[in-house]
A and B are shown apart, each in its own frame.
Chain A
Amino acid sequence: MPNRDMSFIELSARERARRILDQGSFRELLDPFEKITSPWLEPQGIVPEFDDGMVVAKGKFNGKPTVIIAIEGVFQGGSMGEVSGAKMAAALELAAEDNRSGIATQALLLFETGGVRLQEANLGLAAIADIHSAIVDLRRYVPVIGITAGTVGCFGGMSIAAGLCSYLVVTREARLGLNGPQVIEQEAGIEEYNSRDRPFIWSMTGGEVRYKNGFADIIVKDSVNDVKTAIIQCMNKGLPDTLRSDDYDYYLQKLNAIDTSKQADATLVKNIFGRGDRK
């Protein structure tokens, strides 16, 4: 059923990757049958997954050589361990090498992740630093496109990775933020951030506000076809004139102008960062 649309969010990471790539072109690397599982989970009494929650596949997208790296949000909240992190970093590093030797391999990153897997804490953090490095390297040659669809969203060190992408695509069901609501409440108090107040959390970090306030480039419906269309739009733009992560002048000017004597709410954020053309 090549033309029938379907929900993107409901698909597993592997199915997302398979359906995004051109039909028949999907080839998974370090697939589950390789059984490269986390060396750290079982000693802590935690059931591993054969792919460590990371799907890396090569293939074509719109006829062009592509690597797609998809995090399985269902396994351990999409958290980044040594193996899953190294899989993503290695694939990005090899894509950059491809580009240096004349093969314009482009990269699609599907973020469904809470960030570092705390059971592998420092190795997860180190892997994320490698991922940041590899994105910055690769995005010099080809657009690196991030997609966060939900339901996990994209948090922690991986929200920084999303912030490093050339383009970021979100759905309304996605959330994007550095710190999880629980941790902010724990560190800063319930007055600052009430992790149980769901409408409030969505008004701060939901896909729609992220898009409207310029922290994402395209918002799409929960649809495989729409996600693919958005990727094509990003690719057609080529390398961005200004990367969001290089836009320190714009952000510093805004942040310095804000009156921080009163607490922020969604309206204030919109007034400051809102992009008028994004309704």
Chain B
Amino acid sequence: MSNTVLSRGDYWFSLLTKGAKIRRGQCASIKVADGDILGQVARFIAVVPDAKNKYPRAAHGEVGLLEGWTLAQVVHEVIESDKLNSNKTAIIAIIDVPSQAYGRREEAFGIHQALAGAAGAYAKARLAGHPIVGLIVGKAMSGAFLAHGYQANRLIAFDNDEVMIHAMGKESAARITLRSVTALEKLAASIPPMAYDIDNYNKLGLLYKLLTITNPDNASDNEITLVKQTINDAITDIIKHGVDLKCRLGGKDRHTSVVVREKMRAHW
């Protein structure tokens, strides 16, 4: 394997998969390895940049057509191979995805369907009892995040300026909402769901843990151990609490989502 680090996601993939068995044969932008996390059997999956991507709009780590369907494939493999096991392999999604791929081929060849393939596979795996942990080390944007990570039972993120979770990049969001980028940033400062930073995101109650890593591009041994331990704890927590996404509903700034569910149940 080459020593060149392609992205922060690639860096964390390699840190977590030392000694693991690398899967080959799929597109170069999807890295997959089978190993363990402090003794818990796991498949690790990352989306990484591939400068020579057959689909050039997905060359920088975006989730595109091949990426979406390949994620579907490699997640289905885990479901299939554990079909008869009660002890399900964990899936660790290492998340550093700047966006979905924007392009003509992407729309024409059905990128929405490719991302449905990925999101659907992760959701199926979770419902089948595979503990899924999403480790957000960089960007987790929009459709790319929906396809790779948002179906995880638990999300862990690094408390770092380059960690960003959002529905749309600032420039496009400003254009679509007919605001200037400055106006958008000003609003985002007072409206937590609009914010781009991880601290505001954390207020929404969607994260299991927010970890302080001094330099996520060059982590210390202690920090690597902390990350592994937190993933392992998350897996234990998942096994204890079940397959659904209820654990995401506790946030103060996501309270209305709880109210709606309670009322819907009462009226049902």
How many residue pairs between the two chains, A and B, have CB atoms under 8 Å in the bound complex? 270
Q: Is A104 an interface residue (CB 8 A)?
A: no
Q: Give the docked Cα–Cα distance between A130 and B105 (Å).
A: 28
Q: Is B112 an interface residue (CB 8 A)?
A: yes
Point out the residue from A85, A121, A160, A179 that lies within 8 Å of B106, measured CB to CB.
Answer: A179
B120 engages A186 (CB within 8 Å): no
Q: Is A235 an interface residue (CB 8 A)?
A: no
Q: Is A239 an interface residue (CB 8 A)?
A: no
What 1/0 flags go to B104-148 for Cβ under 8 Å of A? 111111111111110111011011000000000000001101110
B194 engages A119 (CB within 8 Å): yes
Q: Is A34 an interface residue (CB 8 A)?
A: yes
Residues of A within 8 A of B116 (CB): 132, 160-164, 244-245
Residues of A within 8 A of B263 (CB): 30, 34, 36
Point out the residue from B126, B176, B253, B259 that lies within 8 Å of A36, measured CB to CB.
Answer: B259
A245 engages B257 (CB within 8 Å): no
Those of B58-73 within 8 Å (CB) of chain A:
65-66, 69-70, 72-73
Those of B125-184 within 8 Å (CB) of chain A:
126-127, 142-143, 145-147, 150-151, 165-169, 171-173, 175-177
Residues of B within 8 A of A232 (CB): none
Residues of A within 8 A of B194 (CB): 40, 118-122
For residue B72, which residue of chain A has the nearest CB? A248
Q: Is B261 an interface residue (CB 8 A)?
A: yes
Q: Is B4 an interface residue (CB 8 A)?
A: no
Those of A104-126 within 8 Å (CB) of chain B:
115-116, 118-126
Those of B176-204 within 8 Å (CB) of chain A:
176-177, 187, 190-195, 201, 204
Q: Give the docked Cα–Cα distance between A139 and B130 (Å).
A: 19
Residues of B within 8 A of A219 (CB): none
For residue B111, which residue of chain A has the nearest CB? A178
Residues of A within 8 A of B20 (CB): none
Q: Given the interface contacts A83-B260, A118-B177, does A132 sit within 8 Å of B172 by beta carbon? A: no
Q: Is B227 an interface residue (CB 8 A)?
A: no
Q: Given the interface contacts A132-B119, A133-B151, does A160 sit within 8 Å of B104 by beta carbon? A: no
Residues of B within 8 A of A126 (CB): 150, 204, 206, 248, 254, 257
Q: Is B76 an interface residue (CB 8 A)?
A: yes
Residues of B within 8 A of A58 (CB): 268
Residues of B within 8 A of A243 (CB): 120
Residues of B within 8 A of A236 (CB): none
Those of A68-117 within 8 Å (CB) of chain B:
82-83, 85-87, 89-91, 93-94, 115-116
What 1/0 flags go to A153-194 for Cβ under 8 Å of B? 000110111111000000000001111101110111000110
Q: How extensive is the interface on chain A, given as a class?
A: 35 or more
For residue A184, which residue of chain B has the nearest CB? B102
A90 engages B100 (CB within 8 Å): no
Q: Give the docked Cα–Cα distance between A105 and B224 (Å).
A: 47
B111 engages A248 (CB within 8 Å): no
Q: Is B19 an interface residue (CB 8 A)?
A: no
B172 engages A187 (CB within 8 Å): yes
A186 engages B245 (CB within 8 Å): no
Main secondary structure on A side of the interface with B = helix
For residue A46, which residue of chain B has the nearest CB? B177
- Residue in A85, A129, A266 with the greatest tally of chain B CB atoms within 10 Å: A129
Residues of A within 8 A of B201 (CB): 122
Q: Give the docked Cα–Cα distance between A177 and B108 (Å).
A: 8
Q: Give the docked Cα–Cα distance between A136 and B261 (Å).
A: 18
B55 engages A94 (CB within 8 Å): no
A132 engages B167 (CB within 8 Å): no
Using A82-B193, A122-B206, A252-B73 as known contacts, list a sample of 8 further A-B pairs with CB atoms less than 8 Å apart, ordered by residue number in A.
A39-B256, A136-B124, A160-B143, A160-B147, A179-B102, A245-B116, A246-B72, A255-B55
Q: List chain A positions with a Cβ less than 8 A from chain B.
A: 29-30, 34, 36, 39-40, 43-44, 56, 58, 82-83, 85-87, 89-91, 93-94, 115-116, 118-130, 132-133, 136-137, 140, 156-157, 159-164, 176-180, 182-184, 186-188, 192-193, 204-205, 213, 215, 243-249, 251-252, 254-256, 258, 260, 263-264, 266, 268-269, 272-273
The 10 closest A-B pairs by CB, nearest first: A163-B116, A159-B112, A136-B123, A86-B260, A129-B150, A90-B264, A187-B102, A245-B120, A116-B167, A121-B167
Q: 10 interchain pairs (CB within 8 A)?
A: A40-B193, A94-B268, A121-B166, A123-B253, A156-B143, A177-B111, A186-B172, A252-B69, A252-B70, A256-B66
Q: List chain B positions with a Cβ less than 8 A from chain A.
A: 54-57, 65-66, 69-70, 72-73, 76, 99-100, 102-117, 119-121, 123-124, 126-127, 142-143, 145-147, 150-151, 165-169, 171-173, 175-177, 187, 190-195, 201, 204, 206, 244-245, 248, 253-254, 256-257, 259-261, 263-265, 267-268
